[in-house]
């Protein structure tokens, strides 16, 4: 097992950030390290303990390039529509633009997917489906962070999900939920991010 960073649980939870500009694009990431983090992620809950998730780990340059092309097709109209001009909005836009430009050079891309069968996604509330995948994806990000790896939660490629599915041979009945670019990161200054006050979003015994 790889050596873990000396982070207590609260530090790990509050300093796991979306890493884009600080991804180290030059340092290879061993597949065994991704496997180790995924084994931790598989301890996450899933509905009825079904464990119908699947994880597609991509380090092949041509396949990464294909994913990046689909991502950029979705990113261009997305970033053009952004209206935030405050400092935080500009910082996020700059970071996101950088990731779109370099995505195929990130050492590893991990796609989290889930089996839904021939019936596809339900028409109504889909919390049961995504609640059986996304907690594990977040657990994966935490496990990566504990091992000195950065990641960023992205979903824009899902606008071209069928193209990516064909590229990777993902079968019918399996839907993608998240794309995580993964690399070692540069620097160590990860801090808790500004958030809205708890009392702005807390409701006790009703709205």
pLDDT digits (tens, 9 = 90+) for 46-92: 999 999 999 999 999 999 999 999 999 999 999 988 877 787 778 88
Which residues contact residue 38 at a Cβ distance below 8 angstroms, ignoring those fewer than 6 apart?
Answer: 55, 57, 140, 143
Q: What is the pLDDT of residues 109-162, one digit of tens each?
A: 999 999 999 999 999 999 999 999 999 999 999 999 999 999 999 999 999 999
Q: Which of 100, 54, 60, 72 is nearest to 159 (CA)?
A: 72
Contact status, residue 38 vs residue 55, Cβ threshold 8 Å? yes
Better-predicted residue by pLDDT, 191 or 202: 202
What domains appear along the chain, each with residue ranges and CATH number? Answer: 39-183 (3.40.109.10)
Per-residue pLDDT at 114? 98
123 with 99: CB under 8 angstroms?
no
Residue 55: what pLDDT?
98
pLDDT of residue 92: 85
């Amino acid at each position: 097992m790889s050596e873990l960073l000396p982070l207590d649980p609260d530090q790990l939870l509050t300093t796991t950030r979306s890493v884009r500009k600080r991804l180290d694009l030059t340092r290879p990431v061993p597949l065994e390290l991704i496997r180790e983090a995924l084994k931790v992620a598989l301890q996450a809950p899933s509905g009825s303990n079904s464990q119908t998730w699947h994880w597609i780990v991509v380090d092949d340059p041509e396949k990464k390039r294909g994913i990046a092309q689909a991502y950029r097709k979705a990113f261009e109209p997305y970033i053009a529509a952004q209206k935030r001009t405050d400092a935080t909005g500009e910082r996020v836009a700059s970071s996101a633009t950088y990731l779109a430009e370099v995505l195929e050079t990130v050492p590893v891309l991990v796609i989290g997917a889930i089996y839904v069968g021939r019936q596809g996604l339900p028409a109504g509330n889909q919390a049961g489906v995504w609640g059986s995948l996304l907690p594990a994806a977040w657990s994966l990000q935490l496990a990566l962070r504990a091992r000195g790896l950065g990641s960023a939660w992205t979903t824009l490629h899902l606008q071209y999900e069928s193209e990516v599915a064909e590229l990777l041979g993902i079968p019918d009945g399996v839907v993608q939920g998240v794309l995580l670019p993964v690399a070692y990161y540069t620097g160590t200054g990860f801090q808790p991010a500004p958030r809205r006050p708890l009392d702005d979003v807390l409701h006790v015994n009703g709205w």
